[in-house]
Amino acid sequence: MSQFTYSHRDLLTDIHRAEHPDPHTEPSPFDTLLSSGWRERMGRGGVFRYRLGALQTRVLPGPLSLVAQLNVQRGVERRKPQEIQSIKQPYNAHQFNFNKICPEEVLFEMSRVTEQSPRPPVGDRPELQRVVVLVNVSPLEFGHCLFVPEPSRCLPQVLTLSAIQTGIESVLLSSDPGFRVGFNSLGAFASVNHLHLHCYYLKQELLLETVPVEPLVPEKGFYRLTHLPRGFLFYAEPNDLDQIARVVFQVTEALVNGDVAHNLFLTRGCPPSEGQKDEAQQGSRRGVRIALWPRRSSFGAKEETAFNVALCELAGHLPFKVQQDYECLTEKDVKDIIQRYLLPDQDFTRLERQLVADMIDL
């Protein structure tokens, strides 16, 4: 199995989103390894459930610039989701898990090397967390893969601090501003109760990358999202990555303890502007915007709607299952569907006050 080791020095900050990207820009070593492996598996046949070609894509008229894509095969061919009854549901070895996949689905292992633990010789595994990168056999976009931390530990689908750090670092390892990472908790349309994060490439710009936010505890990188579905936003750059990861973990741990389902989405983005429109900042993608949406729990079998409200839909990327929905639904229709899954205003406000108070007390 291929090994990918990296250190803090490999994290990239000089990234900008250009209207016309330079086609000769070199991909990062991380992008090269992931993309080439994904293409090879797609071309090999027998690994994916369907062949993913260029997807029909349009931007819905409206201020949110929602990116709609038609992916009928994913809606039909993907594995039936597991029955979830609790946000804290224990791991069940008898259900599908990532220890049961075909070896061909695995692309590589990745691990971070600290300054105290020098980069190991080729063939040696560093004594650090092992994250297995494997293809999602029902892809929603190019490069759709899963990060599975320490699969043999059989962790349930509950975020750990190291999983959050892996998500942030992977975005910073990519030189592509369209690389995205996300997480669905149990009760928030997670399909498998075995700890994993999603990643994929989406070239279209999302409003989340630049939308102004309101400060909650800005000294700890904690903000409120208001222009998109209401939620929270954190911002991290390499120099404060570990601190922000701990803050995000503090919040997600509080959500789990409070039985609040949630979705997480990470993307390159400009620094929080608090409503300030600065052209230089708007083009900057040197850091990571981490959006977190607490939401109503959805237990039992997944509902069949135009789309499932999970990590990418809340971020403004809408994979539609049916041609008619893709062609006809408006921004208002989408907002109405999403609203049904969000916390009521009074519950969100109560949660926000508690999180802010807990953060200030630390």
Q: Which residues are catalytic?
A: 196
Strand (E) positions, the chain?
Answer: 2-6, 57-59, 67-70, 106-112, 131-135, 145-149, 179-184, 197-201, 214-217, 222-225, 231-236, 261-269, 287-295, 317-320
| 37 backbone dihedrals φ, ψ, rounded to 5° | -65, -40
127 is written with which tokens?
């004594």
Phi/psi class of residue 220: alpha, beta or left (left: φ > 0; alpha: ψ in -120 to 50)? alpha
CB atoms within 10 A of CB 90: 9
- Check residue 157 and report its DSSP letter: S
Distances 230 to 294, 307, 347, 352, 358 between C-alpha atoms, Å: 9, 19, 12, 11, 20
248 is written with which tokens?
């995000």
Is residue 136 within a helix (H) or strand (E), and if so which, with residue range?
none
Angle, vertex CA 71, rays to CA 75 and CA 139, nearest 5 = 80
